[in-house]
Every structure is written in structure tokens, then in C-alpha cells.
Structure 1
């Protein structure tokens, strides 16, 4: 069956979601599966922590930073990670835990109320990341592209859209011709035409808007068939959508409301890892949702795509 047809087929959950790490993260995010380490990296943005979970032996590792860490990608031609910290793009090698991250570029020195949030690499190794208002109110966030050039070891950063209070995503269609990006506060998911050769976006349009009461779109990923999987902040689920119409095909229901990100991984790329947040809950909600901030996993009869490498 072609991807165009398969993308319209509802995938099947092969079990119930399991909390594999009850980490009580303040704001879990940034899930990335590492094929070379056979492990999942994820972050606690407001806890200033990078986490790694290895399924083979359930080993847990944590690195603590001096500021927010919000997204990451493995480097293609060197050890370690490209990460986004509060102010911009940096390098960090988990194998050298006593070495501080090295900032490469800070694009918004004048916007002291902003911080970086979600981000991912495209298929050519360019890292796309959004900034946001730390108070989640003012539309001061932008979408940036950061890439390396042979002539400049510190890379090049360019802004491609702006006017967001909270940014999340992006993810791409299976053929790489469409990029999706979330304006979380308004509940809107936008699609852009994406030029892979130049790394540019155009023709911005609303692709989907969550219904009132169904939470807000947070982190997301694309499976091998091109279906989009989107975390619902305040909606206690991850929903799966057909890429053209946005029609919902299925959803994964979680035992806590603030679901923040999802990524496929595991040896066969059929495990969906899901992050969540403990922030924003009332004391009563915290008592009713003891797994808030945990890392979850569920097996699905859909194959994911390996995360693109930076470089």
C-alpha cells in the first residue's frame, strides 16, 4: 500500500500506555530517539534537566543545566548534541558531563522575556526552533532556522516567521514538501510549503485548529506513512491525523492532562514515547494525577521515522 493510502488508515494501539519513568518533570518535552545509543533523550525545560532512558536495561541518566534546555538533536559528524537553551543554540556532549554547553548563536538578545521552546532538524540537517514569551502571553515568539556552513563554524541563523506567544513543533510531511508548526496559545496548527533545497517556507495556512475543550497543540511527530501525531496540552492525549485533511484517525489517552511531546523509537521504531508536565496543575489535580510529568510509552502498529541529525 502506498504512503498516500496508508496515511488515511487508522493505526492500532497494541497495548495501553505505560509510565516508564515517573520523573515528575515540571515541563517534559523534547523527545528524541537515538538509534546509535538505542535510548530516548528528553528534557524537563523548567527543571533545567536533560534526561536519557535506555529500554534495554531501563537505565536512567540526567544532566542538570544552569538554565532552560528545551530541544535537541544528535550531531551527524561529531559526538554530542545540538541543543536549544534559554537564549539560543548550543553544543553539549553528554559523554563530557563536566563540560559546560557552548553557545553558538543567540538571536534575540533584546527580548529578555523570551526563551526557546521546541525544535527539530529537517532532512538536510538544519535545525528549526521557535521562541516564545516565557509568560505565554505576548506574541513575541519567532521561528528560526539554524544551519552550519563550511566557511563559518558557528553557523547561520535566520528568522522565517513571527508573532507567536508559544511555539511548538515543527514536523514535516513524509515527502518533505510541507512543514507543520504550532501556535499553541491559539490552538492553531499551520502548514507551510517547504523547499528542501533552500530550506525556506512559504504559503502559510491554517491546517488544523483543535476544538474548544480538547486542549492545545503541543509537540508533534510524523510516522513513516506521513500521519501526524500531536500532543494535547490540557487534553490528556496524543491524537493521530491524516496529513492532507487533518482528520483524526485515533488517539492515545493518558492519565494526566498536560501532554507535551511524542516521538517514535525503539528497536523497530514502533514505540511511541510521550512526555508530560506537572506544571499548571492545582493541588487537587496533582493529587488526582500522580503520574504528571512522567515519561510514557505505548506500542503501535505504525512505524516511525528516525530523527534527523544536525550538521
Structure 2
């Protein structure tokens, strides 16, 4: 059994959205509450941060070598220098919302969700944004739009609205960029907290981080059966992705925000990024296609 490793000593308030950048062999993730983007190069242990002016829900790599960042009020092109260029506004009529978790589909579109920053209103939504900056709303009345990824054949999109404690699936039309036929594929027990970020591996299995559940689970989306569970020494497990030269390293982000001083003493590594070598392999991330 492979052991969990601490990737970097830095602890995040709300580490989220890990992505493996195959072109540069780097791990990318965000600290939403600290308004930072993190880049870590395992080969050299180089760890860089890019400060941002707003909370950042997700950052993904773009085809031209830049990054795409979803902030509180819109989607921006982000240069490594920290320069931001607005591509598209996002929910300008909801100043109490922010973006939360996103991924790029096989056609190069960003899919990004939103959520209320305070309270428990079901006012979040799921959008897509193409390289021209065209934003399309697909689902509304969400509590906390969260983890998403696609099946092995690309015809199914998996999606988590955290308060539902479910993974739902949609039929996915990659050419049109549309989703339909929403249904539930996995329901989680309350003992696992709430499902947060998610990724799929090369065989289409679902890897889900559990906020409040101290773990990442791997499940079969066809049967709903749990196949593997990776336990962590921290409760607020936020997301995961595959990376490394063979895409067989599972990277896991966590959070320390909103934990009491007493809990932080029990979880000194809360907010850390962990890794573990697994038998399964991931798949390369598509790049956001700028037009």
C-alpha cells in the first residue's frame, strides 16, 4: 500500500481545483480565500504563487500558454506575471456570488459553476464559456456548484451540487456544448460529509473528495459501488486530480478555513496538498481553446 505524502509545507485557507499541467510538469491549484494561484514543480520543488485581487474559484490552462481564471465577477485570461484581461463577465447581477470549480471539455470550453458566498440559498448556476467569451447558462438553482468531469467516451458529464450529497450525470453533446437528461449515479452517506471536487480516471471511474469526510473515494459510476477509499489526516478534503509523468499520482487539496482553534490543533496539516501513488491512471486535461 502506497503512503500519503505531503507535497508542499504551505497550508492554504481553502485549497481547491488542482490541475496537472503536462506541458510544464507542474501542479496548479488555487487558494480561494487567500486569493492566490499556486504552481508547484515536483522535479525542482519550485513553488510559486500568483496573487489576485478577488477570490478565485478555478484556474485552467489555455492553449496559448496562459491561464484562464474564474474570479468573483468574471472569467479572465491570466498571465504568469499576474496580468489579468477580462474575457467575460459572470453574474454581474449577483455581487454576493463567486465562481467555484471548473473544468475544460474536449472542445476547449470552460465549464464553471457559481455559488452564494454567504447563506444557504440555492441561487448558484452552471455555465460554459467558449474562447470568444460567450457564456451560456445550463443549470440554475444550485446550492454549491462543485466537482465535474467527463466519462471515458466523453458522452457523459458528471457533476456535483454539494448539498445534495450526490453525483449526477448528464448526456453531453460535445459539438453543441449542451447537456440533458440529468440523473443521479451516486448518493453518499451523510457520514462522508458532502462531496466536493471530483475527477475521472482513464477508465471513467469517479474520484470524489469529501468535505468533512476525511477521505477521497473512488467509485464505479455504472453500479455506484465504492471501489477504493483514501483516508486523510484532515477533514476538509476539497478536490483531487491525476498528475506526474505517468498520470498515476493522485494529488489532493484540502482546507483549514472555518476550523476552530481546537480542531486546527487536531488537524495541523489542514490546508496542505497531499499526493499518493495509485495503480489507476488519469487522463490529460484538455486546454481552454482561445479564439
Distance, in Å, in 1 between the alignment partners of 2:166 and 2:258 is 21
Distance, in Å, in 2 between the alignment partners of 1:121 and 1:105 is 16
Match of 1:126 among 100, 109, 113: 109
Distance, in Å, in 2 between the alignment partners of 1:136 and 1:230 is 24
Match of 1:117 among 80, 100, 104: 100
- Where 1:213 maps in the other structure, the secondary structure is helix
Instruction: Tell whether 2:208 aligns with 1:230.
Output: yes
Shift of 1:188: 2.0
Contact 1:173–1:243 (Cα < 8 Å) also in 2:
no
Aligned residue in 2 for 1:79: 65
Q: Which 4+ residue blocks in structure 1 deviate beyond 3 angstroms?
A: none
Instruction: Tell whether 2:39 aligns with 1:61.
Output: no
Shift of 1:217: 0.6
Query: Any residues of structure 2 matched to 1:157-176 within 5 Å, and which?
Result: 157-176=135-154
Contact 2:209–2:216 (Cα < 8 Å) also in 1:
yes
Aligned residue in 1 for 2:31: 44
Residue deviations 1:125-179, cap 9 Å, x none? 011010001125111100000002xxxxx42110000111211121111111111
Aligned residue in 2 for 1:92: 78
Residue deviations 1:212-270, cap 9 Å, x none? 11111100101001111000000010000112122100011111000001000001110
- Where 1:155 maps in the other structure, the secondary structure is coil
Distance, in Å, in 2 between the alignment partners of 1:172 and 1:255 is 29
- Where 1:185 maps in the other structure, the secondary structure is helix
TM-score where L is the length of structure 2 = 0.97
Distance, in Å, in 1 between the alignment partners of 2:119 and 2:215 is 21
Gaps of 5+ in 1: 1-13, 149-153
TM-score where L is the length of structure 1 = 0.91
Contact 2:185–2:221 (Cα < 8 Å) also in 1:
no
User: Which structure is richer in relative contact order (CA contacts within 8 A, separation 6 or more)?
Assistant: 1
Shift of 1:123: 0.7
Contact 2:40–2:47 (Cα < 8 Å) also in 1:
yes
Distance, in Å, in 2 between the alignment partners of 1:137 and 1:248 is 29
Contact 1:136–1:166 (Cα < 8 Å) also in 2:
no
- Where 1:246 maps in the other structure, the secondary structure is coil
Aligned residue in 1 for 2:219: 241
